[in-house]
Amino acid sequence: MNGRRYLLDTNAVIQLLSGNDSVRAIIDDADFISTSVICQVEFLAYPKLDSETRNAFLQFLSRIHVYDVLSSNDDLMRETVSMRVESGLKLPDAIIAATALINGCAVISNDEHFQRQSKVEVKTYSLAT
């Protein structure tokens, strides 16, 4: 273990559950794996989600930490606004980036828009072939 802390974006969770070895390689030596409630909602709201994938996702969630979005979390609110204003990230992505930042995590995502900000480390991965 090397002390790495990761927050998975929705696309990374999808790839991980699909067996992407590149995502698995990134998190294999992680000490802490998490996601945001934003990713949880995005995943579960997918219109073509089948029950097998839904169950695999829920089992995955039971093994990691899921960060909530609370209005009483002043640091999260301040950083979300900062990410939105400074980087032009859409609100869900600003929340995800701010959550990672205040909790000392790198974001695992292949979404290019995360590259517009410079406060949070972003780990990209290869798509499964």
Looking at the chain, the whole-number percentage of residues with pLDDT higher than 70 is 97
DSSP 104-124: T-EEE---GGGGG-SSS-EE-
Instruction: Say yes or no: domain 4-123 is CATH 3.20.20.80.
Output: no
pLDDT in tens, 91-105: 999 999 999 999 999
Domain ranges of the chain: 4-123
pLDDT in tens, 13-47: 999 999 999 999 999 989 999 999 999 999 999 99
pLDDT score of 1 more than 50: no
